[in-house]
Structures are given as C-alpha cells and as structure tokens.
Structure 1
Amino acid sequence: MSKRIDVKNLNVYYGEFLAVEDVTMTIEPRSVTALIGPSGCGKSTFLRTLNRMHEVIPGAYVTGEALMDGQNLYGRGVDPVQVRRQVGMVFQRPNPFPTMSIADNVLAGVRLNNRRMSRSDADELVESSLRGANLWEEVKDRLDRPGSSLSGGQQQRLCIARAIAVKPEVVLMDEPCSALDPISTLAIEDLIAELKTEYTIVIVTHNMQQAARVSDKTGFFNIAGTGKPGHLIEYDETEKMFSTPSVKDTEDYISGRFG
C-alpha cells in the first residue's frame, strides 16, 4: 500500500515569494521520515506540497518534481483531490468535526469522496480504522457520541482514524503531538511505529527526542534569515543525523545551540 516519494529540485512559491528552495530527497516506503528545523524554515510548507495542500493558498505553486512511485504529483492533468486521497494529512491540533459523532468523523473523508457503502460495510470500516488508530477499545461503546467529547489525545487518534479510513498510501503529520500531554504523545508515537508497517509516514516535529525515537530518516531544514527561502541542509539516517551529522549547523540545532 505504501509509496516511495522522490522529490527533485522542488521550489515552493507564494506568488513571487520563494518560500522553500531546491529540495531533493527520497522518502522511502514503509518508513517514518522526520522533518526538523527552527520555526519558519519551510518544513511544514514542504510537507504540504506532498499532497498539494499548500495550493489552498491563492498564488501558491511549485517548480520541480514530486514523484510518487514514478508519477509526478504535479504532472499535467493530475487531480489534486486524487492526490489528497492517496496522501492523507493529520494537522497540528486535533480537528474532529464537533457536530459529528465519533463514527461519522471516521467516515467523513470516505463520504466526501462520494463512496457509497452499506451499513455493515460502514460499521466494518469504522471498527477497522479505529483499531488501526488504537482507539477502538476506548470508544466502541460510545460511537454515537460527538467526536469533541473525547480527550485531546483521543481526538488526535480519531483524526488519524479518519485519515486512514480513505486508505491512503502516505500519511503526513504536521506536529501531531504539539498540543498533547506526554502520555497522549507516547500513544501517538507508539501508533506511528505500528502504522509504518503499512504506510509511508512523514512527520514535522520540533521535538528532537521524538524525531530520534520515531523516525528512520531525518531531514534538517534551515533558513538564512527573515525573507529568505528555507533549505534542506542535511538528510540522512536518523541515527547518523543525531550522532555524527555531516553539517555543523545540523549538530548545533540538534544539540540545542541554536533554534
């Protein structure tokens, strides 16, 4: 199910402003890739280019290529909606639909894609998605309760269940634990470790320990100054990045000397 993504000379623009410059990297299937770096260095912007979410901002566009198993996500005639079905997104703050039940939250993306299904198929998808998000046992007796009735950590796992219900190949996570307590954070990290057996996962995080714990490869982004574009400074196996990085700026950031 999971896909490999090859990014080649990718530049991200908002109108005339170059936000991220010349990113080249390979994101391996069935793995976790962490993107780290100081605020404003373009890592979340880059993450959103992988499912064309940045295009919701008027004037946003890219040059270069993002190939998923050889197909350019920005190729002529490629439907961004279809890209977003293949590449799911989990945002920084849990965002279940507050007026929808837990079950309806899980099915929201599927119904948005106009997929009709029987009641039994819907029930089966709700259970399998919640099990996939390690949430089923906690909510199976209250599926008709609002999604907003759950705790913050449960809401984030509900959002992950909603993302995987549409059966994507890639799951993007933009600081998914930044609003959560340590126990909920651990639950999400354990879930990420399980999900990578089926999905390609890319996560943006400001937590260096989290990047070291959950990821197989890490990319360090940085920026030369205000108004300058973000750059991918170094990209390598996580163990090497956190022990013997090749670039001094990477070592300084990971060790807390700046950022």
Structure 2
Amino acid sequence: MSKRIEADDVDIYYGKFKAVEGVTMTIEPRSVTAFIGPSGCGKTTFLRSINRMHEVIPGAYVDGKITLDGDNIYDPGVDPVTVRGLVGMVFQRPNPFPTMSIRDNVLAGYKINGRRLAKSDADDLVERSLRGANLWEEVKDRLDRPGSGLSGGQQQRLCIARTVAVNPKVILMDEPCSALDPISTLAIEDLIRELKEDYTIVIVTHNMQQAARVSDVTAFFNIEGTGKPGKLIEMGPTEKIFSTPDVRATEDYITGRFG
C-alpha cells in the first residue's frame, strides 16, 4: 500500500522568490520521517510539494522531480487531484467540516469526488476508517452528530480517518499535535506508530521530543538568513541525528542553541 518517495534536486518558488533549494532525499515506505528545523526554513513548503498542495498558491511552482515508486508526480500529464488522492494530508489545526456529521466527514473525500457508495459499503468504510484512527469506540453511538462537537484530539483523529478513508499511499502531517493537549498528543503519536504499518508517513514538527519518539528518520532543514532559501542540511536515522549528527548546526538546533 505505502510508496517510496524520492526527491531529486527540488527547488520550490513563490513567484520569483526561491523558498526551498536543492532538496534531494529518499523516504522509505512504511516508515515515519520527521522534518525539523526553525520557522521559515522550508520544511512545510517542501511537505506540501509532495502532494502538489504548494501550487494552489498563485505563482507557486516546483522545479525538479518528486516520484512515488518511480512515477514523477510533476510530469505534465499528471492530474494534481490524482496525486492528492494518493498522498493525503492532515493539517496543523483539526479541520472537520463543521456542517457535516461525523459519518459524513469520513465520507467527504468520496462525496467531493462524486463517487457513490452503497449504504452498506459506506457503513463498512466509516467503521473501518474510524477504527483505523482509533476513534470508533468513542463515537460509534453518535455518528450523526456534528464532527465539530468532538474534542480537539478527537477532531484531529476524525481528520485522519477522513484521510485514511480514500485509501492513500502516503500521509503527510503538518504539525498535527501543535494545537492539542498532552493527552491528545500522546493518542495521535500512538496512532502514527500504528499507521506506519500500512502507510508512508511524513510529519513536520517543532517538538524535538515528538520527533525522537515517533520517527524512524529525521531530516533537518535550515536557512542562512531572511530572504535566503531553505535547504536540507542533514537526514538520517533519528537515533543518529539526535545523538551524533554530522553537522554542527543540526546539533545546535536539537539542543536548543538556536531556533
């Protein structure tokens, strides 16, 4: 189910401004990769380029190649909507559709794309997706109530269920716990560990402890100064990055000397 992601010399622009420069990396299937680095270093911009969300911003574009199991998602004939079906995204703040029930939130991806399901198939998909997000037992008796009525941590797991429902191969998470309390954060981290059995997961986080806890691989991004592009400085097994990084700037960031 999961796919290998490979980036080859990727530059990312907002109009004439180069926001990210020269990123080359490989992200293995069934793993969790954490992007860390100071604010403004390009880690979220690069994350959004993996499912072509970056280019929804007027004037934004990508140079270079990003592949999923060898298929370039930026080839001219590739539909960005198809890419976003393969590469789901969970955002910083939980964003269930406020007018939709819990059930309809899970099914939203199908409805938006005009796909119809028989009621029994829809019921099975809702239960399977909510179980996959460790939320079923908490909401199974109130599926017709608004998703916005759930707690913050439950809303974020509902958003993960909505992402899982459309059967992606990769799940991107942009600081998924930054708006959550410690107990909800722990629940999301436990879920991330379970999800990597079936998906390739990439997470942006400012929480060094979280990166150390949940990721297999860590990529450190940095920026030389205002107006300069962000760059990938170092990437490797999380244990090594956090104990014996090769680059001094990586150690300085992880230990809190800057950032």
State the TM-score, normalizing by the size of structure 2. Answer: 1.00
Code of the aligned partner of 2:154: Q
> What SS does the corresponding residue of 2:120 show, helix, strand or coil?
helix
* Superposition deviation, residue 194 in structure 1: 0.2
Distance in 1 between the 2:41 and 2:205 partners? 12
Code of the aligned partner of 1:73: I
Alignment correspondent of 1:123: 123
Alignment correspondent of 1:112: 112
* Superposition deviation, residue 145 in structure 1: 0.4
* Superposition deviation, residue 112 in structure 1: 1.2
Code of the aligned partner of 2:207: N
Which aligned pairs between 1:174-185 and structure 2 lie closer than 5 A? 174-185=174-185
Distance in 1 between the 2:84 and 2:110 partners? 12
Alignment correspondent of 2:25: 25
Code of the aligned partner of 2:3: K
- Superposed CA RMSD in Å reads 0.4
* Superposition deviation, residue 7 in structure 1: 0.4
Query: What per-residue deviation string (whole Å, max 9, x for no partner) do you get for residues 82-102 of structure 1?
Result: 000000000000000011000
Distance in 2 between the 1:236 and 1:86 partners? 25
Which aligned pairs between 1:149-228 and structure 2 lie closer than 5 A? 149-228=149-228
* Superposition deviation, residue 137 in structure 1: 0.1
Q: Which runs of 5+ in 1 are unaligned?
A: none
Distance in 1 between the 2:218 and 2:159 partners? 24
Identity between Structure 1 and Structure 2 (%): 78
* Superposition deviation, residue 202 in structure 1: 0.1
Following superposition, which runs of at least 4 residues in structure 1 exceed 3 angstroms of deviation?
none
Distance in 1 between the 2:139 and 2:120 partners? 18
Alignment correspondent of 1:65: 65
Distance in 2 between the 1:67 and 1:102 partners? 34
Alignment correspondent of 1:44: 44
1:34 and 2:34 are equivalent in the alignment: yes
Code of the aligned partner of 2:143: L
Alignment correspondent of 2:230: 230
Alignment correspondent of 1:102: 102
Alignment correspondent of 1:55: 55
Alignment correspondent of 1:255: 255
Distance in 2 between the 1:241 and 1:183 partners? 27
* Superposition deviation, residue 111 in structure 1: 1.3
* Superposition deviation, residue 115 in structure 1: 1.5
* Superposition deviation, residue 154 in structure 1: 0.1
Distance in 2 between the 1:80 and 1:109 partners? 15
Code of the aligned partner of 2:86: Q
> What SS does the corresponding residue of 1:19 show, helix, strand or coil?
strand
Using the TM superposition, name which of 47-56 and 113-122 deviates more. 113-122
Alignment correspondent of 1:145: 145
Code of the aligned partner of 2:227: G
Using the TM superposition, name which of 108-117 and 10-19 deviates more. 108-117
> What SS does the corresponding residue of 2:144 show, helix, strand or coil?
coil
* Superposition deviation, residue 238 in structure 1: 0.4
Q: Which runs of 5+ in 2 are unaligned?
A: none
Alignment correspondent of 1:244: 244
State the TM-score, normalizing by the size of structure 1. Answer: 1.00
Code of the aligned partner of 2:49: T
Query: What per-residue deviation string (whole Å, max 9, x for no partner) do you get for residues 182-201 of structure 1?
Result: 00000000000000000000
